[in-house]
Structure 1
Amino acid sequence: MSTTPTGTQDPPAATAAPGVLESRLTPGTSLDTFARDFWGREALLTRRAGDFSDLFPAAAVDELVSRRGLRTPFLRVAKNGATLPDASFTSPAGVGATIGDQADDTALWREFADGATLVLQALHRTWAPVGDLTAVLGAELGHPVQANAYVTPPQNRGFDAHYDVHDVFVLQTEGTKRWIVHRPVHPDPLRDQPWTDHRDAVAEAAAAEPYLDTVLAPGDVLYLPRGWLHAAEAQGEVSVHLTLGVHTWTRYALAEQLMRAALAELRDDPWMRASLPLGVAGPDEEAAPVRERLAAALTGADPAPHFHRTRRAQARPAPLGPLAQLDAVNGLAPGTPVRLRGALEARLEGRRLVTRVGWLDFPEADLPALARLLAGEVRTAGDLGLACAGRLLRAGVVVPAAR
């Protein structure tokens, strides 16, 4: 049985790295090495990558489950390889909180004590340190990142062998967990190609010799490209791990953007909008000229607008505090420091500033200052122009910056 894959790396005692990937997830493996040898290709196990207690301490589990009013789908429960129905661990919470899809901490405790795994989903939306990490990591990778936490009681497994349709970084934060990993039966699955489409092949592969059979301890990180089979079981104590899911852009997705752009152009072609001949029996007579026009439209298609629009929709901008924002608007002065709000996916397209929170058109005179703002510099309202800065503050595009 294999216990040490070729992708295992032990980082040196001290690692100076510029980004989250190198400094926290894969110390000892440079960004260039990761991109060349592992990204989307091979599993990578990094021992003692770091201390993740600042991201998600054990106490955070109790805080979220018992005090934060979590609602489905921010919470799942799995046992014996299957997901339990929501009604088995949710209930209303009394006066002022009568909606019935809220976490019931008593029911969750009973399920957990009986061997169930608690899955805290979309943790990047409910726990700030994790949200901060995923935002930075997503910007570094160029692919959106989400986070779940898996809390498994001793000697239990939440899910049977399966694969994910996104890449994952597994960060062990508490306890230990045995991971059994096999190579893909369906490499690089798309979002609509889940493991259940290959259930028999997955079961057969899971019964064979694994690529990796190892126990993760706190501080260890395991990277698995999408499609890699895995199953995990807690050992002699409660296991908590974070899974950072990287929802990769693919060439297929780019092809979809090209096709959308081409079809949008063909909508303005009267010949394409015309009806097929009366009594047509099939597409044979019309397919050739349609194919020719479609190919021409694809050749000239610009996928960028559709690509960026879709990308902007796949994540949220950095948090915005309405009270602090109102104070900044009311106290706006030439010396007020402001900065671009994080994770906006902001772009200048001509005189239009396009962001995740909408778009604004600006006069030519404002464009140089806006370009400096987009470069990440802290600017003063006077540098941007008071009128411009006020518009950006009210639109939620810039936020007050520390002096």
Structure 2
Amino acid sequence: MVTTGPRPDAQPALARCLRIPVEQFAAEYWGRRALLSRASELTSGFDDLFTADAVDELVTRRGVRTPFIRMAREGSVLPASAYTAPGGLGAEVGDQVSSDQVLERFADGATIVLQGLHRLWPPIIDYTRALVDDLGHPVQVNAYVTPRSSQGFDPHYDTHDVFVLQVAGEKHWRIHEPVHVDPLGSQPWTEHRAAVARAALGAPAIDAVLRPGDALYLPRGWIHSATSGDATSVHLTVGMAAYTRADVVSALLAGVGESAALRASLPVGIDFADAEAFAPVLRETVEALVELVGQSDAAGTAARLGRRFDGDIRAEPLAPLATLDALERLDAATAVRWRGSLRARIVASGDRVRIVSRTKTLSLPIEAEQAVRRIAEGAPIEVGSLPGLDAESAVVVARRLVREGFAVAPA
């Protein structure tokens, strides 16, 4: 499997959120401990990703609809009707953001939540894709815009790891250690509401004011709440949905259909209320499951997880008009590169080489294998320099790769 687009060893998308080396973060903090990084300790701020002006543009000019926007006040999510309205002539939808209502709710102390910015806002689209490549886990990004001296949500925990990136204003964060370690997506904080509330009354592990350019890492399960300062606060929450060993188990169990013993019907007249009678069925099932798991191989299990991962992320977007224009101009002097974050397998067999992604398969003559593998390394290369092909054949292969969305020809 290849996942490319240039990915320097420094993992820059991840490194810019950390005051410590990526290797130390991975070994000592990832999924274990919270980490506060001050702007003075980081290489750059975050205003290249998002700004207060971007909030106003999304609310006023982008036609944002639910669920890409929501609002909350004092721990309660407001009904969509409180901040949306029909789009008017030519946009007959009933849930477009209403700037008038957003202003009214915001002035009353409600927090604006702009969700799914990794699908809406170009700088964050690009950054998210790079961060996914660095982490190897799916990523989503929301923005939280809180009016002065307000709190949008009560103390709670998330079921995914997060980076909090402060963009504008200040926010006072109180962080407490988990009451439920490493919660899964099916184990929300509301299942431990009382314990979370009690923990939030104790001494915090981190009690700090985040200012523009500061970053805070929280593993899933860490309890947090935040209150804005004397001005509007804007921060990005980068949610990282880490795959877990429970996901590996799910991938293993996805192969139960390969076991004849596990496919077998349960006995006629089985009584699930009779635990003693059910015990032999359970024992035989566990034995068959142990046998199946024992026969599982890393490649097959990883492939199942890989297919899920492919569905959770997005490759670099393709510009239809620019791509067709590039195809018209593509020649031996054109530089092409692999499409960013596109995961695919390159399989050589007989007289063909196949490129297999989640959505399609492209088959080319075996003579193109070296060229395909060179492009898949990620760095741009002139078409006429592709190995194993003459200039005319290289142009044909490059055009196929660009046309089918495996490679791009930057302007």
Question: TM-score with structure 2 length normalisation?
Answer: 0.88
Q: Does structure 1 residue 188 correspond to structure 2 residue 179?
A: no
What's the counterpart of residue 149 of structure 2?
Answer: 155
Q: For residues 116-131 of structure 1, what are the structure 2 equivalents within 5 Å?
A: 116-131=110-125
CA contact 2:402–2:408 (8 Å) conserved in 1: yes
Cα distance in structure 1, aligned partners of 2:14 and 2:262: 51
Change in CA separation of 1:325 and 1:379 when aligned onto 2, cut-off 3 Å:
same
How much has 1:389 moved relative to structure 2? 2.3
| Match of residue 47, structure 1, among 33, 38, 42 | 38
Say whether residues 1:263 and 2:256 are aligned partners: yes
Separation in structure 2 between the aligned mates of residue 62 and residue 152 of structure 1, nearest angstrom: 13
* Contact 2:69/2:112 (8 A) holds in 1: yes
Deviation at 1:279, TM superposition (A): 2.9
From 107, 112, 133, the equivalent of 2:106 is 112
Deviations 1:10-59 (A, max 9, x none): xxxxxxx93325642113x0111111221111111111133222111211
Q: CA RMSD in A?
A: 1.9
Counterpart mapping for 1:72-83 below 5 A: 72-83=66-77
Distance in 2 of aligned mates of 1:276 and 1:55: 56
Tell me the equivalent position of 2:312: 314
Deviating more after overlay: 177-186 vs 352-361: 352-361
Tell me, yes or no, if structure 1 residue 18 matches structure 2 residue 4: no
Partner of 1:38: 29
Contact persistence 2:14–2:135 (CA under 8 A): no
Instruction: Report the alpha carbon displacement of residue 298 of structure 1 after superposing the two structures with TM.
Output: 1.4
Taking the TM superposition and a 5 Å limit, the aligned residue runs for 1:271-282 are 272-281=262-271, 282=277
Q: What residue number does 2:404 align with?
A: 395
Deviation at 1:339, TM superposition (A): 1.1
Q: Tell me the TM-score normalized by structure 1.
A: 0.90
Q: Contact 1:170 / 1:223 at 8 angstroms: preserved in 2? A: yes
Q: State which of 299, 302, 305 in structure 2 corresponds to 1:304.
A: 302
**Aligned-partner Cα distance in 1 for 2:262–2:111:** 54
Amino acid at match of 2:304: H
Matched, 1:376 2:382: no
Q: Give 1:349 deviation, angstroms.
A: 4.4
Contact 1:21 1:31 (C-alpha < 8 Å) held by counterparts: no
Higher relative contact order (CA 8 A, sep 6+): 2
2:3 matched to which residue of 1? none
1:3 matched to which residue of 2? none
After superposition, the Cα gap between the structure-2 partners of 1:272 and 1:158, relative to the gap in structure 1 and judged at 3 Å, is closer
Once the two structures are superposed, what CA deviation does each residue of 1:211-238 show, in whole Å capped at 9, x if it has no partner?
Answer: 1111111111111101000000001111
Distance 2:204 2:133 in 1: 33
Letter in structure 1 aligned against 2:265:
S
Q: Which residue number corresponds to residue 86 of structure 1?
A: 80
Residue 272 to residue 264, structure 1, CA distance change in 2 (3 Å): closer
Amino acid at match of 1:80: E
> Quick one: distance in 2 between partners of 1:54 and 1:76?
24
Q: Secondary structure at the match of 2:159?
A: coil
Mean Cα displacement is larger for which, 109-118 or 317-326? 317-326
Amino acid at match of 2:197: A
CA contact (8 A) 2:262 2:289 kept: no
Q: 1:283, 1:361 → 2: CA distance?
A: 52
Give how far 1:296 is off: 2.0
Q: Please, which runs of 5 or more residues in structure 1 have no aligned partner?
A: 1-16
**From 338, 355, 370, the counterpart of 1:340:** 338
Counterpart position of 1:64: 58
Question: For 1:178-217, what aligned pairs fall within 5 Å after superposition?
Answer: 178-217=172-211
Aligned match of 2:323: 325
The answer to whether the 8 A contact 1:165-1:188 is kept is yes
Q: Which moved more, 1:196-205 or 1:387-396?
A: 387-396
Q: Do residues 250 (structure 1) and 252 (structure 2) align? A: no
Q: Specify the alignment match of 2:362 in structure 1.
A: 360
- Taking the aligned partners of 2:253 and 2:365, their CA distance within structure 1 comes to 33
Q: Is the 8 A contact 2:257 2:263 kept in 1?
A: no
Q: Report if the CA contact (8 A) 2:146-2:152 is conserved.
A: yes
